[in-house]
Amino acid sequence: MLSGKKILVAGGNGFLGSHVVELLRSGDSSQVFAPRTQDLFDFRKIEDCDYFINKSKPDLIINCAAVQGGIGYHSGKQADLFWDNLAMGTNLLKSACMHSVPKFVNIIPGCAYPGYLEKDELNEEDFWSGDVHDSIFSYGFSKKASIVYGKALYKQYGFNSIHLVLANLYGPKDHYQPDQSKALAAMIKKFSDAKKNKQPTVEIWGTGKPVRDWLYVVDAAEGIIRSAEVYNSIDPLNIASGLGITVGDLARTVKTASGYTGKIVFNISKPDGAMKKTFGIKKMKSELSWEPKTSISQGIKDAIAWYEKNLS
Ligand SMILES: NC(=O)c1ccc[n+]([C@@H]2O[C@H](COP(=O)([O-])OP(=O)(O)OC[C@H]3O[C@@H](n4cnc5c(N)ncnc54)[C@H](OP(=O)(O)O)[C@@H]3O)[C@@H](O)[C@H]2O)c1
């Protein structure tokens, strides 16, 4: 359905964006643009957004651009991260609207959901029902603000933007630097490195009991493209596996897949965080007639293979 369309993927060289670009290029979209910051495009500046959008005249923009990392990465950078992400999100939306781009797909992290709701499963109707978690407040709010702006552009100008809220991602080309990696990438690095260095134990923080929702990045890219084709509502839509896996089971799956034969030690003096955080996918399945197909064990095998080939 995107056949013959010109598509601009902002952040198209990042972890998620590069998979979106790869999938689009493997299909029949006529032209896919992925501007890079190393070519001096800076979407924090409206004039760079205007220049690129005017030059490429896209039929669709998919915004995967962001400055972010694991929770540690945000510490001491809260103000910069708020401003950079707010500027990028709102500038791209404004420029797209002013240049009459027919559709805009905005990518939102699951941490933009309320951080203190006592619910096992976060559904779209919960999205505006509470504060973002304090550990991630500035990044989460900057992304949330881009949805508010998208809604305002829709109300005032009829501009068509959609806002997809994604679960935690993992897979090939993930970030493995300790300050930028998320929990699963950090685990993959720990077990692969421990096997290589013949370490007797691998430490996992907490009891291993908390449950999380992990989405394979190629499935995420597929869900984004499917949404670009068929979803046209200003209301946020979850893109997630909808499945919960405990930290302990995740660690055992990574251990097996990596071939590590030592012991896992759970350090119960470290905090667990919320006991269960998964995302509801009922709306996703009915709106998209689609759901992710990669099992967590297969996805982890692929992620480890990529890590060991490229970074180990
Ligand atoms: N990673 C996850 O687990 C996860 C989970 C849920 C949602 N998400 C969301 O998915 C999106 C992408 O995340 P990611 O993990 O793929 O991030 P990433 O790998 O860090 O990629 C971010 C991209 O943004 C681009 N960018 C940064 N600053 C820019 C600027 N000033 N101007 C233009 N482009 C700029 C970078 O371009 P260059 O490469 O050219 O520098 C990079 O390609 C984010 O909105 C994130 O919240 C991610």
Task: Judge if 226 and 147 occupy the same domain.
Answer: yes
- Name the token pair of 309: 């080939």
Nearest CA-CA partner of 94 in 32, 156, 139: 156
Number of domains within the chain: 2
- In this prediction, residue 29 carries a pLDDT of 63
Q: Which residue has the tokens 């896919």?
A: 32
- In this prediction, residue 178 carries a pLDDT of 84
What DSSP state is assigned to residue 136? G
Task: Judge if 151 and 228 occupy the same domain.
Answer: yes
Task: Judge if 148 and 261 occupy the same domain.
Answer: no
For residue 176, is it within any domain? no
The predicted-structure confidence for 283-300, as pLDDT tens digits, reads as follows 999 999 999 999 999 999
Distance CA 220, CA 169 (A): 8
Ligand 1 is surrounded, with C-beta below 6 A, by 10-11, 13-17, 36-38, 41-44, 64-68, 88, 107, 109-110, 166, 168-169, 182
- Name the token pair of 299: 């996805």
CATH number at residue 46: 3.40.50.720
Measured by CA distance, the residue closest to atom 9 of ligand 1 is: 109
Distance CA 231, CA 105 (A): 10
How far is the centre of ligand 1, averaged over its atoms, from the C-alpha of 58 (Å)?
20
Distance CA 15, CA 20 (A): 9
Task: Judge if 283 and 198 occupy the same domain.
Answer: no
Atom of ligand 1 nearest to the CA of 13: 43
For residue 178, is it within any domain? no
- In this prediction, residue 30 carries a pLDDT of 67
Task: Judge if 21 and 142 occupy the same domain.
Answer: yes
Task: Judge if 114 and 160 occupy the same domain.
Answer: yes
Other residues' Cβ atoms within 10 Å of the Cβ of residue 288 = 18
How far is the centre of ligand 1, averaged over its atoms, from the C-alpha of 302 (Å)?
21
Q: What is the domain extent for residue 95? A: 6-170+214-242+278-294
How far is the centre of ligand 1, averaged over its atoms, from the C-alpha of 14 (Å)?
5
How far is the centre of ligand 1, averaged over its atoms, from the C-alpha of 71 (Å)?
15
Task: Judge if 97 and 155 occupy the same domain.
Answer: yes
Distance CA 43, CA 278 (A): 32
Per-residue pLDDT of the chain (312 residues; tens, 9 = 90+): 788 899 999 999 999 999 999 999 998 766 999 999 999 889 999 999 999 999 999 999 999 999 998 777 888 899 999 999 999 999 999 999 999 999 999 999 999 999 999 888 999 999 999 999 988 999 999 999 999 999 999 999 999 999 999 999 999 999 999 888 889 999 999 999 999 999 999 999 899 999 999 999 999 999 999 999 999 999 999 999 999 999 999 999 999 999 999 999 999 998 787 788 899 999 999 999 999 999 999 999 999 999 999 987
CATH number at residue 192: 3.90.25.10
How much is the pTM? 0.96
The predicted-structure confidence for 109-150, as pLDDT tens digits, reads as follows 999 999 999 888 999 999 999 999 988 999 999 999 999 999
Do 115 and 131 form a contact (C-beta atoms < 8 A)? yes
How far is the centre of ligand 1, averaged over its atoms, from the C-alpha of 263 (Å)?
35
Task: Judge if 199 and 233 occupy the same domain.
Answer: no
